[in-house]
Amino acid sequence: MRYFLLFGLVFTVSASNAGTLEKCQASEQDKAAIKSCVDAEHSKTGNVLRELNLAAAKAATEKTKDAGRKVPLRHYRSTEAHYARNRAATCNKRPEGMERQACETDMNSVHIEELKRFIAE
């Protein structure tokens, strides 16, 4: 099961890896404008991710109290750990700058969707 989740995350990131960078390159022609676009997307996903992490931690705590078991909290923590490892493993291979920032933005977007599903459960 974990293998399929990891494969799904890696496949999703690989498929959408150039998503932010390609989107910015399609809308902007100047290198400075492309960098500005990537920076804006990175900031936007970072802010959304911070808010959702707080909401997901709160939801995990409430689910843990309601269930009387620590399974939801462990699930949330393991999801966060997997995200951090996968993001580091994938994005640290990229050169510093726009490519790495775009990779981090795409990874953040994937993790945002995972957190939304976790909160909705």
What is the 8-class DSSP label of residue 70? S
Q: Answer yes or no: are the C-beta atoms of 90 and 10 closer than 8 Å.
A: yes
For 7-37, the pLDDT digits (tens) are 444 444 444 445 888 998 888 888 999 999 9
CA distances from 50 to 12, 22, 31, 113, 115 (A): 21, 25, 28, 13, 11
pLDDT at position 18: 57
For 104-115, the pLDDT digits (tens) are 999 999 999 999
